[in-house]
């Protein structure tokens, strides 16, 4: 048996011990009334990724940490990288809000667990991006809470194996997938887009 084959079997065995087919969600308690949110315009999206969230750089299929992110420069700060991704995704989700009432969105990330390179390349048709955060809308001048805090789960299927290679060849990345899904989730929460809440089953952590 070749070395690469032995390594693959060892990885698969490790995965079977630490992962299983589970149910994952895009979920939040309720959509906000669109008649309210369409009176808003968002002046600032403030994203906090607490330093207390653990980070893993382990070269394994399923590292156990709050933050797993590998597409950006590994020498950079993962908390900052995640904050940028979440800021850009949420900011894209509020572009339809053009009302007169100035609002700030305050976001605290609680989990950002994407796939490692090992998982992408050694698995097939498996994996989940686990994205979770709390969001609060406040009036920009007074700081009065208008909505939230709301806990949002924005899990989405991650791609591995041949499907992943096809997507990457067409310019689709983990970042673009996660960004699009978080954007759509924010639109759903604000009541300005389709309600995409739901669940799926997949092998994940």
pLDDT in tens, 21-40: 899 999 999 999 999 999 99
Average pLDDT over residues 98-123: 95
Antiparallel, parallel or unpaired: β 145-154 and 156-157: unpaired
Handedness of CA 133, 30, 159, 205 (dihedral sign): positive
Backbone angles phi, psi at 178, to 5 degrees: -65, -45
Q: What is the DSSP letter of 72?
A: S
The pTM of this model reads: 0.89
Cα 8 to chain center, whole Å?
Answer: 27
- Give per-residue pLDDT as tens, 173-186: 999 999 999 999 99
Measured between alpha carbons, how far is 138 from 83 in angstroms, rounded to an integer? 19
Q: Give the per-residue pLDDT at 13.
A: 40
**3-state SS assignment for residue 89:** helix
DSSP state of 193: S
Please report, for residues 61, 66, 186, the alpha-carbon distance to residue 15 in angstroms, rounded to integers and kept in the order given.
Answer: 7, 18, 32
Burial zone of 141 (CB within 10 Å; 0-12 exposed, 13-18 middle, 19+ buried): exposed
Diameter of the chain measured on Cα atoms = 68
Q: Going by DSSP bridges, is the β-strand pair 20-27/40-48 parallel, antiparallel, or unpaired?
A: unpaired
The model's pLDDT over 144-203, given as tens digits with 9 standing for 90+, comes to: 999 999 999 999 999 888 888 998 899 989 999 999 999 999 999 999 999 999 999 998
Of 127, 98, 100, 96, which Cα lies nearest the Cα of 114? 127
Statement: residue 41 has pLDDT above 90: yes
What is the C-alpha radius of gyration for the chain, rounded to an integer number of angstroms? 18
Name beta bridge partners: 153.
27, 132
**Cα–Cα distance between 138 and 144 in angstroms, integer?**
5
Q: How far apart are the first and last CA of the chain?
A: 29
């Amino acid at each position: 048996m070749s070395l690469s084959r032995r390594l693959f079997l060892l990885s698969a065995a490790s995965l079977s011990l630490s992962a299983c087919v589970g149910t994952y969600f895009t979920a939040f308690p309720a959509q906000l009334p669109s008649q309210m949110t369409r009176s808003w315009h968002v002046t600032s999206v403030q994203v906090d990724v607490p330093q207390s969230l653990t980070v893993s750089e382990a070269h394994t299929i399923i590292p156990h940490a709050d933050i797993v992110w590998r597409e950006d420069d590994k020498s950079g700060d993962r908390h900052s990288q995640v904050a940028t991704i979440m800021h850009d995704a949420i900011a894209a989700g509020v572009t339809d809000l053009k009302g007169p009432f100035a609002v700030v969105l305050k976001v605290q990330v609680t989990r950002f667990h994407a796939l490692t390179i090992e998982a992408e390349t050694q698995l097939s048709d498996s994996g989940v991006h686990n994205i979770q955060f709390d969001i609060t809308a406040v009036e920009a001048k007074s700081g009065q809470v208008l909505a939230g805090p709301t806990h949002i789960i924005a899990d989405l299927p991650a791609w591995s194996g041949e499907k992943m290679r096809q997507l990457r060849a067409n310019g689709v990345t983990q970042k673009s997938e996660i960004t699009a899904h978080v954007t759509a989730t924010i639109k759903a929460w604000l009541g300005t887009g389709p309600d995409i809440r739901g669940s799926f089953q997949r092998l994940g952590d």
